[in-house]
């Protein structure tokens, strides 16, 4: 029986964001092809009603195991949809984890961002209930590392009021970097980060320099995703089959 690998996450309507995401997806599919020689490869973009048909089609093609690696940053609504499909198909599906799940990953994120201890930075995540505790811990790690940085949420807390208070204390009279903690520079970047938050900060007297790229293009972030693929296919102990072995023949 064959195996299959899917990179699963949201698609974007913005051309630049699609290019960022497609580049990451190609890299993950390439790595999966190395770890699972001869496997079926695909991308699953979450949309209403999607999922079951894609998995069923792979099963009907003779795939005995379907590995699904989320391209999601946090555990939220997208992961719940993936889990629902995984439950529907039982042991056929092996579901990976989102990128940011604990302190190790947050430290990797900080290292990847290339922050300066001499420049205040406002980091903006999409937010949501599932991300709240991680964003709070990220703020604490930044403080412990000596970075003048604040982590805000486009949706949820800490929100605009808390971020503005912090920015007025640390950014008035000096340039502040506005960094989107978003996988791609899509609609949330253009509408929320650039237009809403950026313009409001400027109006409040805070000069901002907006980082224009999403996280998907950062090498450190890509390595973290590659590690997710290795973890998914090989298990937490890294016990992949040696080169020349074919996992597909072992299923």
Instruction: Give the model's pLDDT for residue 128.
Output: 75
Q: At what angle do helices 77-89 and 52-60 cross, to 10 degrees?
A: 40
Instruction: Give the model's pLDDT for residue 173.
Output: 75
CA distance 39 to 28: 13
CA distance 72 to 10: 8
CA distance 43 to 155: 27
Instruction: Give the model's pLDDT for residue 239.
Output: 59
Tokens representing 173 are: 């009279």
Instruction: Give the model's pLDDT for residue 244.
Output: 34
Q: What is the chain's pLDDT, residue by residue, as a tens digit (251 residues)?
A: 799 999 999 888 888 888 999 999 999 999 999 999 999 999 999 887 667 888 999 999 999 999 999 999 999 889 999 999 999 999 999 999 999 999 999 999 999 999 999 999 999 988 777 788 899 999 999 999 999 999 998 888 888 899 889 988 887 778 899 999 999 877 767 778 887 888 888 888 888 898 988 899 999 999 999 999 999 999 876 555 433 344 444 44
Tokens representing 31 are: 């790595």
- Mapped to the 3 state alphabet, what secondary structure does the chain carry? CEEEEEEEECCCCCHHHHHHHHHHHHHHHHHHHHHCCCCEEEEEECCCCCCHHHHHHHHHCCEEEEEEEECCCCCCHHHHHHHHHHHHHHHHEEECCCCCCCHHHHHHHHHHHCCCCCCCEEEEEEECHHHHHHHHHHHHHHHHCCCCEEEEEEECCCCHHHHHHHHHHHCCCCEEEEEEECCCCCHHHHHHHHHHHHHHHHHCCCEEEECCCCHHHCHHHHHHHHHHHHHHHHCCCCCCCCCCCCHHHHC
Instruction: Give the model's pLDDT for residue 238.
Output: 59
Please enumerate in sequence order all residues whose Cβ is within 8 A of that of 221, keeping only pairs 6 or more positions apart, or say none. 99, 109, 112, 215
Instruction: Give the model's pLDDT for residue 237.
Output: 65
- The owner of tokens 């703020």 is 139
- Between strands 121-127 and 175-181, the pairing is parallel
pTM of the model: 0.89
């Amino acid at each position: 029986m064959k195996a299959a690998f899917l990179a699963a996450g949201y698609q974007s309507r913005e051309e630049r964001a699609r290019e960022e995401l497609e580049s990451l997806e190609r890299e993950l599919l390439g790595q999966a092809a190395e770890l699972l020689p001869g496997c079926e490869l695909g991308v699953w973009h979450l949309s209403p009603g999607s999922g079951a048909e894609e998995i069923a089609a792979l099963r009907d093609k003779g795939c005995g195991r379907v590995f699904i690696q989320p391209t999601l940053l946090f555990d939220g609504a997208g992961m719940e949809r993936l889990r629902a499909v995984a439950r529907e198909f039982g042991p056929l599906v092996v579901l990976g984890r989102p990128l940011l799940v604990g302190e190790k990953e947050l430290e990797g994120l900080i290292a990847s961002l290339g922050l300066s201890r001499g420049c205040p930075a406002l980091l903006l995540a999409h937010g949501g209930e599932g991300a709240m505790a991680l964003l709070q811990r990220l703020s604490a790690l930044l403080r412990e590392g000596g970075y003048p940085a604040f982590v805000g949420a486009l949706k949820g807390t800490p929100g605009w009021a808390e971020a503005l208070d912090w920015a007025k204390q640390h950014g008035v009279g000096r340039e502040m970097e506005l960094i989107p903690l978003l996988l791609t520079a899509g609609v949330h970047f253009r509408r929320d980060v650039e237009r809403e938050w950026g313009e409001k900060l400027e109006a409040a007297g805070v000069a901002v320099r907006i980082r224009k790229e999403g996280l998907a293009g950062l090498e450190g972030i890509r390595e973290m995703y590659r590690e997710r693929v290795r973890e998914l296919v090989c298990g937490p102990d890294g016990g992949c089959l040696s080169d020349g072995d074919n996992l597909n023949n072992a299923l």
